[in-house]
Amino acid sequence: MAENRTIQDLSEQEQIRREKLAALQQSGKDPYQIRKYDVTHHSEEIRTQFDALEGQEVAIAGRLMSKRIMGKASFCHLQDLQGMMQVYVARDAIGEEAYAEFKKDDIGDIVGVRGTVFKTKTGEVSVHAVEFRLLSKSLKPLPEKFHGLTNVDLRYRQRYVDLIMNPESKDTFIKRSRIISAIRRFLDSQGFMEVETPMLVANAGGAAARPFETHFNALDEDFKLRISLELYLKRLIVGGLERVYEIGRVFRNEGLDTRHNPEFTLMELYQAYTDYHGMMDLTENMYRTVAQEVLGTTTIVYNDVEMDLGKPFARITMKDAVKQYSGVDFDQIRTLEQARAAAKEHHIEFEERHKKGDILNLFFEAYVEEHLIQPTFVMDHPVEISPLTKRKPEDPDYVERFEFFMNGWEMANAYSELNDPIDQRARFAAQEEQFAQGDEEANHTDEDFLNALEIGMPPTGGIGYGIDRMCMLLTDSAAIRDVLLFPTMKTQGKQDQEKGED
């Protein structure tokens, strides 16, 4: 209810601020009518370029964050994109009327300042104002404190306030932007071409996940939001675009936790005439390059744990990793019955539909993942869990696939892409059977993709990267919601309703 709020609904501070606004409007000084303010510098620029700017006039703008009135002269702090700048405001410099108006300005107001650069006696770089202008009125007071777990829900729900009050939050999102820019620069330098593919699709394939579903009225057809970028990008490889990538949002109808959000940023790339070993080399080089460019080092620290991107990344097969951490050697397990017996012995729950390869993967999840702290490529997955991947010629029960792990998290997933349309149709059929047996995350047959493979796809390496997890690691952020500007949350009305029912 926007302006249906009565004056009684407002706090005392909100009422006072609205009265100030009304007085400004009545005197012909409505701040909301101001169209522009010519900014010449930002706070950090002034500090770093002080020697050249001392005594020079600058124009800055931002949010008023503190004010110390001292008779005929006052100090205040203005916050802009780059940080805080102290401003010295003297009645004699800006004029009596402007100074009286300045004293009425509230914390949170947006202001513009024109003045000369100087240093105070304490050595703080400041601006001596010759003009102080209200550019926009803040009708709600900023919170006095915006830290701590008690306000974590509000920080995600009102990110705009979080960005104002928490410099570390703003820094995280500036770094996120720089990470994505560095990725693009790296891939562009390697001859990759950035493309865009559909978000609304008839068949959401390319990953094991439940899609969101919607209805397209104009066509009177049901569509899904994509869960992956894979199948359309491979069509482009068929079309002769030899190196393609896309950074985009994908949507998976799954739970929320510290590493999962139903809407997240995925990057997939495909390169003709290479395999999964080529994808390992590219991943190693890309992570190292991005960390060096954004952080200035290849050693990153997450939750006080050091991870070294400067050394060659470890490489281990899934079977060897399971043997190392669980003691179970799947080379000695020949049958499904033996795999089930091993799972029961190690208290690993499985479903009736699970094959031997599925059970190997369950062992991996239970025993191995948490130990993979340093950068590690886990290679050669079972064919049952890899419906879009080339088999290993010497061992067709396994495929040329790897997952990249850091900090115990899966960071990327890569294949030597399956380009045999006959094998691919059989794999889709197996997935359809899995779906019929209750696996809601199984892939469905994509006839147009099969048609593309029949036209002919060259040998290809492909990989998908979780961009949000990469940003978490490089910014030392505890949860995925800390690196998403607007994470998925229960609506305020729904949350209030559930609180009322408790």
Instruction: Read off the tokens for 68.
Output: 């110390």
pTM over the 0.75 mark: yes
d(CA 209, CA 412): 16
Cβ contact 193:237 at 8 Å: no
Residue spans of alpha helices (H) in 382-491:
421-436, 447-455, 467-475
CA-nearest of 20, 37, 38 to 29 is: 20
Q: What are phi and psi of 209, to 5 degrees?
A: -160, 155
Which helix (H) or strand (E) is 367 found in, with range?
helix 356-367
Instruction: Read off the tokens for 383.
Output: 């064919």
User: What is the pLDDT averaged over residues 158-168?
Assistant: 92
Residue 116 has pLDDT above 70, yes or no: yes
d(CA 136, CA 32): 6
The SS3 call for residue 417 is strand
d(CA 442, CA 74): 66
CA-nearest of 115, 107, 110, 112 to 90 is: 115
User: What is the pLDDT averaged over residues 137-165?
Assistant: 81
pLDDT at 77: 98
pLDDT in tens, 305-344: 999 999 999 999 999 999 999 999 999 999 999 999 999 9
pLDDT at 387: 84
pLDDT in tens, 51-100: 999 999 999 999 999 999 999 999 999 999 999 999 999 999 999 999 99
Number of H helices, E strands in the chain: 17, 20
Cβ contact 131:115 at 8 Å: yes
User: What is the pLDDT averaged over residues 161-169?
Assistant: 92
Cβ contact 88:128 at 8 Å: yes
d(CA 66, CA 69): 10
Cβ contact 319:367 at 8 Å: no
pLDDT band at 181 (very low <50, low <70, confident <90, very high): very high
Residue 428 has pLDDT above 70, yes or no: yes
d(CA 348, CA 363): 7
Contacts by residues 329-337 (CB-CB < 8 Å, ≥ 24 positions apart): 330/356, 330/360, 330/363
Residue 149 has pLDDT above 80, yes or no: no
pLDDT band at 501 (very low <50, low <70, confident <90, very high): low
pLDDT in tens, 445-499: 899 999 999 999 999 999 999 999 999 999 999 999 999 999 999 887 666 666 6
Cβ contact 86:75 at 8 Å: yes
Average pLDDT value for the chain: 93
Residue 400 has pLDDT above 80, yes or no: yes
Contacts of 261 by beta carbon, 8 Å cutoff, 6+ apart: 468, 480, 481, 484, 487, 488
- Measured from the Cβ of residue 1, the count of other Cβ atoms closer than 10 Å reads 5
Instruction: Please state which of the ranges 54-58, 355-359, 429-433 shows the lowest mean pLDDT.
Output: 429-433
pLDDT at 143: 85
pLDDT at 434: 85
pLDDT at 5: 54
Query: For residue 257, what is the DSSP state?
Result: B
The SS3 call for residue 497 is helix
Residue of higher predicted confidence among 387 and 300: 300
CA 129 to chain centre: 40
